[in-house]
Amino acid sequence: MANIGHFMIPADNVDRARNFYTSLLGWKIEPVKAAGGMAGITEMQYHDISTGAARKGMLSTGGLYKRHLQEPILDFVMVEDIEGVEAKVEKLGGKITMPKNAIKGVGQVLMIQDSEGNVIGILKPETKK
């Protein structure tokens, strides 16, 4: 069964949002340093979020970034067969909003809109060698 593996929170003011979540929930939120394959990460003001120790059945990682449109919080569902999911989206009444692409160090990512207009990220994590 596919499970949510990552979430992303857009913010108009990243520093303000970082302070809000660290003060309210105690989350650890640290800026990501630009690395190979992570084009645009500095412009996004991307920060990693740790919500605590990983525990069975609980999501413990996310991201905070500079909002560019009016996008909502974005959840990424982890799957083993991203091509299979991609093939079903439009047949089930959804749309592909961003074609599948690879992000070095992360994996393959596909963005879809479900039958109700909600945007969801699909993630096939990179295999560790």
pLDDT bucket at 118, cuts 50 / 70 / 90: confident
pLDDT of residue 100: 95
Q: What is the mean pLDDT of residues 114-122?
A: 86
Calpha distance 79→56 (Å, rounded):
17
Q: How far apart are CA 103 and CA 22, in angstroms?
A: 27
Q: What are phi and psi of 87, to 5 degrees?
A: -70, -25
Domains and CATH numbers, the chain: 7-68 (3.10.180.10), 79-129 (3.10.180.10)
Confidence (pTM): 0.68
Q: Which of the residue ranges 55-59, 64-68, 77-81, 92-96 would you say has the lowest mean pLDDT?
A: 55-59
